[in-house]
Amino acid sequence: MPDVFVISDCIVSPLGLTTAENFDQLLENNSGIKEYEDSSLSEDPFFASLFGKETGPLNDKGESKYTHFEALLIQAIRTVIENSGIDPRDNKTMLIISSTKGNIGLLGSGSVTPELQQRVALHTSAQLVADHFHFVHPPVVVSNACISGSLALIVGKRMIDAGHCETAVIAGADILSKFILSGFQALQAISREPCKPFDMSRNGITLGEGAAAVVLSGKNKNADDCKVLGAAVGNDANHISGPSRTGEELAYAIGEALKEAGKTSTNVGFISAHGTATVFNDEMEAKAFALAGLSASPLNSLKGYFGHTLGAAGLIESIISIRSLKQGLVIPTKGFQRSDFSAPLTICDTLLKGNFQYCLKTASGFGGCNAAILFGRS
């Protein structure tokens, strides 16, 4: 199988407009999570990582015909196109967009007209974004709950593997809305304070807004471009909103990703876990990592910095992991202090320097889905 390289990446979040800006903020232990009082989003105060109302560079260049959600995607894609020098008009280039709810915040108090129904659709947003850059083929939209970002990356890799394209631009985003916040509040899944992934006193998620983009290519551009070595997706077949009790399905996906990469669990330098900080998710992941033979690999969750960015999470966190590989710096798990898992784990709670060759990114989501990706340095 030919190599698939990540030749460019960009994170657009409340912590910064580029990957470097975001990574530097993480190194300084800064989080985008703050407490908000905003009755348009929630009756009660809540913690979240949100963009400010004035989002500077996103609003110039006459982008008012785009919603905030679309403007975020455009910002991220623009950066990776400029940095990689690819031509989106190329016939062998595809665009894949990942999001869970897109423009659902457009649902207001009025009735839903056919025009609003069309406007709110993910394919509408994706086509607007594709047209902005003159991508030739219809964009592929992945909407698969919280694994969307990872899955979109996996789809891009597989399309390149199979020779259906030479370059894939993968971009994902999600923004906060009353729709999303009220739902997680109704499920009592929102943490009372900034989330604490893998901590024994964790009690829920903190939502976050964000966007990210990567360019995948069969050819590397820079000497230090990382590769997407292996990936797998699976389903718990257990529950639609709670994870597996055993973690064996995620462990299976991890095993398959490693197998595709020709590696074993001992090769994994560190793990960027999904780590949403719900009691059940983190417990399931702990079991899965132990089952997969990864108890000794340092793991982190980045949700304490970005919040849970839903459709962007898999991409944002993969990008940070790739930078960690390149710089030999694993980011600690903000919000974590102590754990009490029955399975042994190595949870990263301080900045970890080292020479890491491979890292594993995992994600899980509603509908019982799991995804695992192995990245490696060239």
Partner 1 sequence: MIAGQVVQKNAMPFFENKKENLSEFLLSLYVFAGLNYPRFYKMDDLCKLGWLASEILLLGNLQPGKFLPEETGLVLANANSSLDTDLKYWDTVKEEPSPSLFVYTLPNVLQGEICIRNNFKGESAFFVFEEFNSSFMEKYVTSLLDNNRLSVCIMGWVELVRERYKAVLFKVEKEKGENPIPFTIENINKLFQSANE
Interior angle at CA 103, CA 98 and CA 104, nearest 5: 110
Coil/strand/helix, residue 135: coil
Binding site for partner 1 (CB under 8 A): 100-102, 104, 107, 112, 117, 120-124, 126-127, 138, 140-145, 151, 155, 158-159, 161-162, 164, 178-179, 182-188, 232-241, 249, 252, 256, 365-369
Active site residues: 146, 274, 308
- The helix (H) or strand (E) run that includes residue 158 is helix 148-161
Residue 140 CB, nearest distance to partner 1 (Å)? 6
Residue 178 CB, nearest distance to partner 1 (Å)? 7
- Alpha carbon of residue 185 to chain centroid: 21
Coil/strand/helix, residue 42: coil
Task: Kindly give, in sequence order, each residue whose CB lies less than 8 Å from that of residue 157, ignoring residues fewer than 6 positions away.
Answer: 4, 168, 216, 228, 231
> Please, which residue, 126 or 330, has the CB nearer to partner 1?
126
Beta strands in 247-312 (DSSP E): 268-272, 298-300
- The helix (H) or strand (E) run that includes residue 214 is strand 210-217
Phi/psi region, residue 206 (left: phi>0; alpha: psi -120 to 50; beta: rest), is beta
> Please, which residue, 233 or 345, has the CB nearer to partner 1?
233
> Please, which residue, 3 or 21, has the CB nearer to partner 1?
3
In whole angstroms, how far apart are CA 146 and each of 90, 114, 210? Answer: 30, 28, 13
Query: Which of 110, 109, 105, 129 is CA-nearest to residue 178?
Result: 105
Residue 79 CB, nearest distance to partner 1 (Å)? 24
> Please, which residue, 57 or 138, has the CB nearer to partner 1?
138
Q: Residue 165 — φ and ψ, nearest 5°? A: -155, 165
d(CA 69, CA 124): 12
Residue 32 CB, nearest distance to partner 1 (Å)? 24
In whole angstroms, how far apart are CA 378 and each of 62, 317, 358? Answer: 40, 20, 10
> Please, which residue, 126 or 331, has the CB nearer to partner 1?
126
> Please, which residue, 59 or 235, has the CB nearer to partner 1?
235
Residue 279 CB, nearest distance to partner 1 (Å)? 16
